[in-house]
Structure 1
Amino acid sequence: MGTNLTKQNRFDAIIIGAGACGLMCAVQAGFLGKRTLILEHNDKPGAKILISGGGRCNYTNLHTTANQFISQNQHFCKSAFAQWTVEDTITFFETYGINGAEKTLGQLFPESGKAKDVVKVFTDLCEQLDQEIRLNTKAKAITPIKDGFTVSYERNGKSNELYAPKVIMATGGLPISKLGATDFGMRTARTLGLTVTETAPALVPLTITGKQQSWYEQLSGSSIFSRVWNERASFEENILFTHWGLSGPAILQISSYWKPGESIFIDLLPNRSIVDIILQENPKQLLQTLLSGLFTKKFAEALGVYLPIQKNLASLSKADLQNIETLIHEFKVTPAGTKGYDKAEVMRGGVSTDELSSKTLESKKVPGLFFGGECVDVTGWLGGYNFQWAWASGFVIAQNI
């Protein structure tokens, strides 16, 4: 089938999705003299890159190791990270004019603070390297044939198909539907007999319903540096109260390790002891005054539902102190659910790592088919980790197509 194709339709590989993984894959393939075509159903490339980090794009994290990733196989991502390191990411972007500015916890942002600069690096390189990006083009089906694949797609209301010896699924995950998120990657995997690990929203706000909801609503907008944990993980960052529950970096982080029906715990005063503070303060002081100094007046008043805030410190009983200690250091929350894929940063789960070679990211069952980025069961923490996985997986695939 490939013999009669013109140059315009002769590609070494077709990439589905012009996100971080797909764009990096196309550029790296171009460096190796290979020609790729990216099919992207949005009207512009890099839609999720453009909104990441509030439009500033936290494009990697200096502390990246396999330990910051959730997967059925914790070791799977190690090979990709050995082949494309954080230093490689930094050097790559510096080469094309983007210098990193480090924020908290190893997060790197472009000095310009503009995510569009990151996308421009890729679109410029694709143009220079003769890598085609076909926008407003929706891939419909991937069919293995002899020596390759046919890719059925729809563009401007017309159906058509292309041939390529290799296909890369860089389709992303299920967040965020307004950016055109679909389950095409997972659906294709299942159609071709590949296992997909159960998916769920990750890095997502948690909701509180029922009689407790009004307590959270009154604190909407309040932010507190806390330690949030369950039996699987622990994070120290800010939490944010909202009118529907809890958000903020520490909550987004723990959400990836939370399952419906479970509780999480919050230490509202990490690395300090509330009881020690009480015992050292002026005993005539009201508990509410003390708490207003440690938190905010609004939060101290809200704690009056649970604590005897009108008592002075001297009159607090042993039971009171125990209650205060538990509430401040082990505040228990049982979320009703999450805000779902539309508010999630990423998706947990995806194409099973058992189905892919960790060295090449090629399907073991369907030779010539590769999966990278978010549609694979490799989910990073908040703070640039998922971008590092996207860049690394795109690079790895490019070396093997």
Structure 2
Amino acid sequence: MVYDAVIIGGGACGLMCSAQAGLLGKRTLLLERNDKLGAKILISGGGRCNFTNLHTSPTNFISENPNFLHSVFSRWSVEDTLSFFRCYGGIIGEEKTLGQLFPKSNKAKDVVSMFSKLMYETHQDVWLQTEVRSVEKLDGGYSVHLLRQGVEERLHCSKLVIASGGLPVGKLGASDLALRVARHFGLSVVPTAPALVPLTITGKDADWYASLAGNSIFARVFNSKISFEENILFTHWGLSGPAILQISSYWRPGDTFTIDLLPKFRLEELIKTERSLGGKRTVGQLLQGYFTRKFVDALAKFIPVHVKIASLSKVDAKLIIDVVHRFPVKPAGDKGYDKAEVMRGGVSTTELNAGTLESKRYPGLYFGGEAVDITGWLGGFNFQWAWSSGHAIAQDL
């Protein structure tokens, strides 16, 4: 069989690329390392798949060149995604929070089934349990060295799409293939790191965090670059929850960030109001109107929770306000790729054509999805990038 392109990776980008190519009357061969397609899609959002976000724009992404996204998103928008899912899968998006859209059925398998059906109907071929070992340049194309169900093979193609994802979640077949291929061809790679990942705390405060494991608080987490208002979750090893995952993408080892534990209120005003009423309650009693008893007791390590409001000195009042609204955190590290949602960094956008994602130096070689230096926020943004990049590549095959 002669194919218009070979696609490496049966995740979101690879599936979209193959499906879109099929709709254009092209034939592709998709190579997938696992024994099924869309492994990461199936576990996303707790098996519900937050497949896009209504508020998607380049500002929701981290990259050395976020403007690169303008061209791709102009060719395939959130509206295009919604129309595509509705038309070919009968999948209706339902907003949960902050623009996050899930299938109304709450089943991620519906997304994978849609792509499998569409690829079957458009005669796209799929080889499962196929591990790509290396890629070489040939005159007029590329040679792919692979291990297919235990047997080594080589196949040649004129166009090759690398949609093999990034390094997170090794048990789902994560691979550094895209990075290895890029480096092998001398392409620039932006340094990679886990992103959207829980953060660890060690040292003198480690036991304090561990004692609060399981407690969740709505908070504002911020640094000099960015701010997020969502829940944080205390764990036995540090911090997790949506707001922490978000800020982790902007965190580097050695950095400190700040947590406003009470972002919807001004503690200074609450104390002032309490004083006007006589200030008979203690600091702890005041805070129990906003936090759990367990959390207030834990704050006793940092602030005088047993002092009555009426007796608070200016120094103590400032201390309490600073701790609640400007709680400093200096993580020791992160939980690594196995717990990360995505990878930060990847193949530099300077190496790729903004409209097609084809290599500027190697015609017929494309990179899409997580392999590229485009990292979205939590909440469906990374899926939208995968759909949009897969579509962009398919138009050029």
Q: Bin the TM-score by the shorter chain.
A: over 0.9
Cα distance in 2 between the residues matched to 1:91 and 1:142: 36
SS in 1 for 2:67: coil
Name which of 308, 311, 322 aligns with 1:326.
Answer: 322
SS in 2 for 1:138: strand
Name which of 177, 188, 191 aligns with 1:195.
Answer: 188
Cα distance in 2 between the residues matched to 1:369 and 1:71: 21
Query: Shift of residue 271 of structure 1?
Result: 3.3
Q: Which residue of 2 aligns with 1:45?
A: 37
Q: Which residue of 2 aligns with 1:4?
A: none
Query: Shift of residue 150 of structure 1?
Result: 1.2
Cα distance in 2 between the residues matched to 1:208 and 1:291: 25
1:1-400 pair list within 5 angstroms:
9-95=1-87, 96-281=89-274, 282=277, 283-400=279-396
SS in 2 for 1:366: coil
Query: Shift of residue 205 of structure 1?
Result: 0.5
Cα distance in 2 between the residues matched to 1:164 and 1:77: 28
Query: Shift of residue 111 of structure 1?
Result: 0.4
Cα distance in 1 between the residues matched to 2:197 and 2:381: 15
SS in 2 for 1:10: coil
SS in 2 for 1:294: coil
Cα distance in 2 between the residues matched to 1:297 and 1:266: 19
Cα distance in 2 between the residues matched to 1:163 and 1:32: 22
What does the per-residue CA deviation read over 1:140-177, in whole Å, with 9 as the maximum and x for residues that have no partner? 11111111111111012210011111000001010010
Deviates more, 1:231-240 or 1:275-284: 275-284
Query: Shift of residue 12 of structure 1?
Result: 0.6
Query: Shift of residue 390 of structure 1?
Result: 0.1
Cα distance in 2 between the residues matched to 1:149 and 1:16: 13
Paired amino acid for 1:336: A
TM-score w.r.t. structure 1 length?
Answer: 0.97
TM-score w.r.t. structure 2 length?
Answer: 0.98
Cα distance in 1 between the residues matched to 2:155 and 2:123: 18
Cα distance in 1 between the residues matched to 2:294 and 2:70: 46
Paired positions, count: 393
Paired amino acid for 1:195: S
Gaps of 5+ in 1: 1-8
SS in 1 for 2:259: strand
SS in 2 for 1:76: helix
SS in 2 for 1:159: strand
Please identify runs of 4+ aligned residues in structure 1 that moved more than 3 A. none
Report the identity percentage.
59
What does the per-residue CA deviation read over 1:51-77, in whole Å, with 9 as the maximum and x for residues that have no partner? 000110000000000000000002011
Cα distance in 2 between the residues matched to 1:375 and 1:301: 45
Cα distance in 2 between the residues matched to 1:86 and 1:60: 7
Deviates more, 1:25-34 or 1:274-283: 274-283
Paired amino acid for 2:391: F
Paired amino acid for 2:112: V
Paired amino acid for 2:40: K
Paired amino acid for 2:307: K
Query: Shift of residue 325 of structure 1?
Result: 0.9
What does the per-residue CA deviation read over 1:229-287, in whole Å, with 9 as the maximum and x for residues that have no partner? 01111101011111100000000000000000000100011132112101212401011
Cα distance in 2 between the residues matched to 1:372 and 1:164: 18
Cα distance in 1 between the residues matched to 2:142 and 2:63: 29
Cα distance in 2 between the residues matched to 1:264 and 1:271: 19
SS in 2 for 1:295: coil
Cα distance in 1 between the residues matched to 2:191 and 2:262: 35
Q: Which residue of 2 aligns with 1:5?
A: none
Cα distance in 1 between the residues matched to 2:136 and 2:304: 67
Q: Which residue of 2 aligns with 1:6?
A: none
Query: Shift of residue 188 of structure 1?
Result: 0.5
Cα distance in 2 between the residues matched to 1:110 and 1:100: 5
Cα distance in 2 between the residues matched to 1:302 and 1:32: 60
Cα distance in 2 between the residues matched to 1:355 and 1:106: 32
Paired amino acid for 1:30: G
Gaps of 5+ in 2: none
**RMSD value, Cα:** 0.7
Cα distance in 1 between the residues matched to 2:22 and 2:135: 23
SS in 2 for 1:105: coil
